[in-house]
Amino acid sequence: MSVAEKVIIVTGAGSGIGKATALLLGEDKVKVALFDVNSSIFDIETQIKSSGGTALAIKVDVSSSAEVDAATKAVVEAFGPIDGGANLAGISGLGTVNLEHETDDAWDRVVGINLGGVKNAMRAQLQHRNPKGASIVNASSIGARIGSPGNAAYSASKAAVSALSKSVAREMGPKGVRINAIAPGITDTAMVGAVPESIREEWRKANVLGRLAQPIEIANVILFLLSDKSSFITSAIIDIDAGRV
Ligand code: NAI
């Protein structure tokens, strides 16, 4: 989808939606950089290379701006300036701690990764972008739309990612950079793997299609937003939730 030869960084590439996105970009001949704290990115790098693609995995904690800056510079040295970013690294609470009992440490960890991680990644991508233009996609969530009881830090961080994306899209539009966020509905990944079947069944019933999303169904939209096929879309929050909202 007109992404071939682009240089694109995927954060959270070690699992779920990020892994599906990295593999899809690898198939489409993107020079794809995989950032994650999980060493699984090295196996994914091997998988992409053994299918003829180009990949570079770097272990990065996205909540550290120093680590993100160093890794982004390493990508530029290896592949050239950045054409795109899919900033998907994130964590969720278990949905079992109400704000009245939340500790500062737990709050700061979720916000530091989900919001700070997107800010760190996006800023580094902008500083090292291709002067011809770039496209960035950030992970918001259905939680930003409808809230998540027992998981307020998560929802708040995701709503902030939406606002951050819109603000920076307005800053960077005149410079040829598009920035969008996606708001996936519940997607069948490790993030929701520990949730009991009774709750998963409630989630399935809550949307129009009566099922959870598969990671590839989110990755396909991310690919579209990273490609030139979406050239008039910026500052958008794209719901991918089978009518849940
Ligand atoms: P996942 O748990 O399968 O993958 C998340 C990845 O982020 C993991 O590989 C993890 O190691 C990595 N990560 C966590 N903290 C990190 C850090 N500090 N630095 C670098 N990497 C880190 O989760 P999933 O479902 O693929 O989620 C991807 C994104 O989509 C997240 O931002 C999530 O909030 C969002 N999302 C997920 C939904 C779902 O139902 N699964 C729904 C809506 C949004």
- Condensed to tens digits (0 to 9), the pLDDT of residues 67-92 reads 999 999 999 999 999 999 999 999 99
CA–centroid distance, 130 to ligand 1, in Å, is: 26
Q: Is 154 a catalytic residue?
A: yes
Q: CA 27 to CA 23: how far, in whole Å? A: 6
- Which residue in 104, 111, 114 sits closest to 141, CA to CA? 114
**ipTM greater than cut 0.95:** yes
Q: Which mutation among 9, 10, 36, 218 tests ligand 1's pocket best, with the greatest number of atoms within 8 A of CB? A: 36
- How much of the chain exceeds pLDDT 90, in percent? 95
Q: Quick one: tokens of 154?
A: 């998560």
Predicted local distance difference test score (pLDDT) of residue 93: 78
Q: Which mutation among 88, 120, 165, 225 tests ligand 1's pocket best, with the greatest number of atoms within 8 A of CB? A: 88
Catalytic residue among 48, 85, 113, 154: 154
Q: What is the mean pLDDT of the chain?
A: 97
Atom number, ligand 1, closest to the C-alpha of residue 185: 42
- With helix as H, strand as E and coil as C, how does the chain read? CCCCCCEEEEECCCCHHHHHHHHHHHHCCCEEEEEECCCHHHHHHHHHHHCCCEEEEEECCCCCHHHHHHHHHHHHHHHCCECEEEECCCCCCCCCCCHHHCCHHHHHHHHHHHCHHHHHHHHHHHHCECCCCEEEEEECCHHHHHCCCCCHHHHHHHHHHHHHHHHHHHHHHHHCEEEEEEEECCECCHHHCCCCHHHHHHHHHHCCCCCCECHHHHHHHHHHHHCHHHCCCCCCEEEECCCCC
CA–centroid distance, 112 to ligand 1, in Å, is: 13
Q: Measuring from atom 12 of ligand 1, which residue has the nearest CA? A: 12
* pLDDT of 219 over the 90 cut: yes
Residue 73: C-alpha distances to residues 12, 26, 34, 124, 145 (Å): 18, 20, 13, 8, 35
- Which residue in 79, 93, 91, 98 sits closest to 33, CA to CA? 79
pLDDT in tens, 186-211: 999 999 998 889 999 999 999 999 99
Q: CA 1 to CA 228: how far, in whole Å? A: 8
Average pLDDT, integer, range 31-35: 98
Predicted local distance difference test score (pLDDT) of residue 1: 66
* pLDDT of 55 over the 70 cut: yes
Q: Quick one: tokens of 176?
A: 């040829």
Question: pTM of this prediction?
Answer: 0.98
pLDDT in tens, 168-182: 999 999 999 999 999
Domains in the chain: boundaries:
7-240
Q: Which CATH class is domain 7-240?
A: alpha beta
pLDDT in tens, 140-169: 999 999 999 999 999 999 999 999 999 999
Atom number, ligand 1, closest to the C-alpha of residue 139: 32
The model's confidence at residue 2, banded by pLDDT at 50, 70 and 90, is confident
Of the listed ranges 96-110, 126-140, 163-177, the least confidently predicted one is: 96-110
Predicted local distance difference test score (pLDDT) of residue 100: 96
Predicted local distance difference test score (pLDDT) of residue 194: 87
Which residues fall within 8 angstroms of residue 68, CB to CB, at 6 or more apart?
Answer: 35, 60, 62, 117, 120, 121, 124
Predicted local distance difference test score (pLDDT) of residue 52: 96
The model's confidence at residue 33, banded by pLDDT at 50, 70 and 90, is very high
The model's confidence at residue 105, banded by pLDDT at 50, 70 and 90, is very high
* pLDDT of 230 over the 80 cut: yes
Predicted local distance difference test score (pLDDT) of residue 95: 77
Predicted local distance difference test score (pLDDT) of residue 44: 98
Atom number, ligand 1, closest to the C-alpha of residue 140: 44
What is the layout of strands, in order, in the sheet containing 54-59?
54-59, 31-36, 7-11, 84-87, 134-139, 177-184, 237-240
